[in-house]
Amino acid sequence: MAKEFVKELTSQAEDFSQWYIDVILKTQMADYSCVRGCMNIRPYGYALWENIRDAMDKRFKATGHVNAYFPLFMPESFLKKEAEHVEGFAPEVPWVTHVGNEPLTERLAIRPTSETIICAAYAEWIQSYRDLPVLINQWANVVRWEKRTRLFLRTSEFLWQEGHTAHRTEDEAREETMKMLEVYRECCETELAMPVMCGRKTEKEKFAGAVETYSIEALLKDGNALQAGTSHFLGQNFAKPFGIKFLDEDNTEKFVWQTSWGVSTRLVGGVVMTHGDDSGLIMPPRIAPTQVVIIPVFKDDSKTLVLEEAARICAELEAIGVRVKCDAREEFRPGYKYNEWEMKGVPLRVEIGPKDIEKGHVVMVRRLDREKAFVPRAELSVRIPEALARLQKDLLEAARKRQVEQTTEVATLDELAEALEKKRGFFWAGWDGSAETEAAVKERTKASIRNIPFEGSEPTAGMLDLVSGKPAKHRVLFARAY
């Protein structure tokens, strides 16, 4: 007997966090590893990550970047060269101290991020202005020993990409920082149908060792924020301790200007929490592992007829680049299959039975709203791509609408605290620019400044800081975040 698959999910309204875990486990995207804080990414979850990765990688290469790979281990002395950097990561870094029974002469950190090991290489590679710019990206795993973990969103080991670039001038490095933030924004909105707010992180929230950090912030269905990607202007903070110098055209020796930027497998969790519903996942078509599932409906006397037609449809869709599966399993009834693929979030379902063949059409069902259409068989290769494109657009519009509905303006800390008791979301508020205000808000509400957005951050006339009552320097976005 086949193992039962379709089971009831916790509803989002009852417990969104439990719904999230339920849907990840029951759709077999990932499960818990026997290693504390780590996860096994199962084939369905990894396929989604591959599609996100490929969409990003295509954009990196289109902007002149190339891929390379650097060691997982870095000497302790490297990590200590940039004081702010080591202080920021020290609590999360695991160390290798022995090989077999022999102690190492110097501890090795397991990669929490690769600035230091890459800077050591760049110091050797870069000698002249002719060697610049260096535009390298790495796809890798990193380890940060998190105290509290959640599948995909925060695990002790996770997958990511990290771009590391070196430039001749400060202006070039700053331009690169903003260019890659825009690449992230465009990719998240185009491919993941996930709208984001772009802006600069506060001094407290910036990357350890950066001069400035910029982020894209998503707002998920439960009203919690997700830092979906970051781009850092490193200035010469790493170039100087690592001695990354070049001889310029004027025959003087100068330090390079650097950037780093990254996104991770937390984007998988972001997709789940942006689009899913009480029936399971809803996959944006552009990144869905399976875009269309074909369900043949037959009895013994029509089995051959229906299966052959389903196979022809599958081949036709594959030929035009659609990621399609034909579920011809005989041990499950059609209704079970409908529920299973709905839970997995497949954007479109095509049902075909003997009567459909006789009438020259198929039944097409959208996962988002279960809208059903009878599509002429001859038009399928045109109508399917159109339906996928429309669904992608509808998902982005729905997410944008939710973001607007979940964004509120508050004037005081009391207002913010009271609002957060009723609902989560983005909260615009005045900020005087002080670390004291930032800390007071977090202590009282657990909300943080997500970023100082590029648009809308100019304080309105007479706007005051929500804690100190002083004139606001910025209008910022507060939210609780994963």
CATH number of the domain encompassing residue 31 = 3.30.930.10
Domain boundary among 215, 250, 275: 275
The confidence score (pLDDT) of residue 161 equals 98
Mean pLDDT of 438-458: 96
The domain tally of the chain equals 3
Confidence of residue 174 (pLDDT cuts 50, 70, 90): very high
Angle between helices 43-62 and 170-191 (to 10 degrees): 140
State whether 147 and 296 are in the same domain.
Answer: no
User: Is 281 part of any domain?
Assistant: no
State whether 168 and 199 are in the same domain.
Answer: yes
pLDDT, greater one: 4 or 387: 387
User: Is 164 part of any domain?
Assistant: yes
The confidence score (pLDDT) of residue 81 equals 84
User: Is 7 part of any domain?
Assistant: no
Domain boundary among 386, 420, 447: 386
State whether 270 and 324 are in the same domain.
Answer: no
User: Is 394 part of any domain?
Assistant: no
Domain that holds residue 466: 407-479
The CATH number of whichever domain residue 381 belongs to comes to: 3.40.50.800
State whether 36 and 82 are in the same domain.
Answer: yes
State whether 138 and 268 are in the same domain.
Answer: yes
State whether 471 and 437 are in the same domain.
Answer: yes
The confidence score (pLDDT) of residue 88 equals 73
Domain boundary among 250, 275, 300: 275
State whether 257 and 299 are in the same domain.
Answer: no
User: Is 287 part of any domain?
Assistant: no
Per-residue pLDDT tens digits for 366-396: 999 999 999 999 999 999 999 999 999 999 9
State whether 125 and 252 are in the same domain.
Answer: yes
State whether 380 and 423 are in the same domain.
Answer: no
pLDDT of residue 100 exceeding 80: yes
The confidence score (pLDDT) of residue 7 equals 60
User: Is 3 part of any domain?
Assistant: no
Confidence of residue 424 (pLDDT cuts 50, 70, 90): very high
State whether 257 and 194 are in the same domain.
Answer: yes
The CATH number of whichever domain residue 470 belongs to comes to: 3.30.110.30
State whether 111 and 246 are in the same domain.
Answer: yes
Upper half-sphere CA count for residue 263 (Cβ side, 13 Å) = 27
User: Is 54 part of any domain?
Assistant: yes
Per-residue pLDDT tens digits for 113-126: 999 999 999 999 99
Closest CA to 111 of 136, 91, 87, 94: 94
State whether 228 and 151 are in the same domain.
Answer: yes
Query: Rounded to whole angstroms, how far apart are CA atoms 384 and 361?
Result: 13
User: Is 60 part of any domain?
Assistant: yes
Mean pLDDT of 177-203: 98
